[in-house]
């Protein structure tokens, strides 16, 4: 049996992922900014709502209907099935923003084939924006193809940071201070938004820690297909065990990776 991604129709997979993201987005928007939204705490003290669970169930239902033999790995209901085709699902990435009525949340769906990410959909219904990509076919936001910036100097770069508290506990915290000092501008949007802007050329660098693969799988495909380089802060490729992100144009990525490695 072939081990190549071509063993699955990626166009069909993309259509299913986009349809699932759209359906989940509609469900989530029905709960968004409701004052009576009940919030529970999971075992790791992170918040979860009925919207998170409803959205993941709908995503799973649609994917399983199309690909009953594929495995699923979701934020709320864990891993199900064994297959070389693994769907990664974060039904509402940015639940804390969602709870507080802020628009910085999204539906994240990605497909991994033989442990390689090949497809990603990142839907932000509160922004009326969906980013998507298939390996080798470029990156898109809605119907517009997007490209990462070609920035080569940190001094002219727009840098976004995520999870500063966990970054502050890393050995390379002094590097973060140096980057802030040297960069043209630093920001901290959080969650999907910085990655969409990176793919679209409006942001030059994203640095983040305390992530998991469900947060960033789809975004990794999108940013890479847009022309950015995305690894963890040690330079390792994005995979199931990834806990941090360094994403940027190729020249800036190499420059900042050297900075982190030297500390």
SS3 47: strand
Residues 91, 16, 87, CA angle at the centre, nearest 5°?
A: 55
d(CA 117, CA 221): 7
Burial track 172-190 (b if 16+ CB lie within 10 A, e otherwise): beebbeebeeebeebeebb
Asked whether 205 and 248 are in contact (CB, 8 A), the reply is yes
Angle between helices 10-31 and 50-66 (to 10 degrees): 160
Q: In the chain, what are the domains? A: 5-137 (3.30.540.10), 154-262 (3.40.190.80)
Question: What is the full per-residue pLDDT of the chain (263 aa) written as tens digits?
Answer: 334 454 789 999 999 999 999 999 999 999 998 888 888 998 888 899 999 999 999 999 999 999 999 999 999 999 999 999 999 999 999 999 999 999 999 999 999 999 999 999 999 999 999 999 999 999 999 999 999 999 999 999 999 998 888 888 777 788 889 999 999 999 988 789 999 999 999 999 999 999 999 999 999 999 999 999 999 999 999 999 999 999 999 999 999 999 988 76
What's the whole-model pTM score? Answer: 0.94
Of 1, 5, 18, nearest in space to 143 by CA: 18
Of 208, 217, 191, 210, nearest in space to 73 by CA: 217
Residue 167 has a pLDDT of 82
């Amino acid at each position: 049996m072939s081990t190549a991604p071509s063993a699955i129709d990626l166009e069909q997979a993309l259509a299913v992922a986009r349809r699932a993201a759209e359906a989940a987005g509609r469900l989530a928007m029905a709960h968004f900014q409701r004052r009576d939204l009940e919030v529970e705490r999971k075992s790791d003290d992170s918040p979860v709502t009925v919207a998170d669970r409803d959205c993941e169930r709908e995503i799973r239902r649609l994917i399983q209907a199309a690909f009953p033999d594929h495995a699923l790995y979701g934020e709320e209901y864990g891993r199900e099935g064994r297959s070389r085709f693994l769907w990664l699902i974060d039904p509402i990435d940015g639940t804390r923003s969602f709870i507080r009525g802020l628009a910085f949340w999204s539906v994240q769906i990605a497909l991994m084939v033989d442990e390689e990410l090949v497809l990603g959909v990142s839907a932000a219904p509160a922004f009326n924006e969906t980013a998507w990509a298939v390996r080798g076919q470029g990156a898109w936001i809605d119907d517009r193809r997007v490209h990462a910036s070609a920035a080569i100097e940190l001094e002219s770069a727009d840098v976004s940071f995520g999870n500063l508290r966990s970054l502050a506990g890393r050995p390379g915290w002094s590097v973060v201070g140096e980057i802030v000092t040297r960069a043209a501008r630093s920001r901290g949007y959080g969650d999907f938004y910085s990655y969409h802007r990176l793919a679209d050329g409006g942001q030059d660098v994203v640095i983040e820690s305390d992530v998991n693969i469900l947060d960033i799988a789809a975004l990794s495909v999108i940013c890479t297909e847009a022309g950015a380089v995305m690894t963890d802060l040690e330079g390792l490729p994005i995979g199931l065990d990834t806990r941090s992100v360094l994403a940027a144009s190729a020249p800036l990525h190499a420059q900042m990776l050297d900075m982190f490695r030297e500390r």
